[in-house]
Copies of this chain bind each other. A is one copy, B any other.
């Protein structure tokens, strides 16, 4: 089946990019990494651009999956809500994902409209999901914030801003930990909890 081979190739491309950087990840290296000929790679992806777009889609899809993992259900308690937030700030996918490759893809949106559209769709969807979760928290009487939309946007800005800054520090670093707690504490403090 062609679809699985395509996916295999994308995964290999990702693995190679992780090792040598996206800018040095070539078709030949992908083939070599898989133990197949470079010609075969090009049989599944007519151009390198196609492969790049495939990688981008793959990364975004995986990212979404990890991002939403765990808190798919309803937000029924204050604890659920806090876990949701902590989950957003935890850089747990670092074990699955490479930030260098991710930001390299992100950088491409500024020169490639297709990349920008993909990223935009992904981010809008991600924001929508958080908004819905917060809406649920409100409907379930956990919080009483009035402007859920902007609340979600603020939280995501904090999340994304924290990734950007914390990328500088090792995850074991003490500063990394305390900084992360600062962000989380501020976030949780944004909620107007209902008195029960």
Chain A contacts to B: CB under 8 angstroms: 21-23, 98-101, 103-104, 106-111, 116, 119-120, 123, 150, 153-154, 156-162, 164-165, 167-169, 179, 182-183, 186
Tell which of B116, B161, B168 touches A161, judged by Cβ atoms closer than 8 Å. Answer: B161
Which B residues touch A157, using CB under 8 A? 157-158, 161-162, 165, 183
In the complex, the chain B residue whose C-beta lies closest to that of A99 is: B110
Chain A contact surface mostly: helix
- Cα–Cα distance between A153 and B161 once the two chains are bound (Å): 10
Which B residues touch A156, using CB under 8 A? 161, 165
A65 vs chain B, min Cβ distance (A)? 20
- Cα–Cα distance between A36 and B35 once the two chains are bound (Å): 43
- Cα–Cα distance between A168 and B150 once the two chains are bound (Å): 18
Task: Tell me whether A110 and B116 are in contact (CB under 8 A).
Answer: no
Which B residues touch A160, using CB under 8 A? 160-161, 164-165
**Known contacts A104-B107, A157-B183: A119-B168 contact under CB 8 Å:** yes
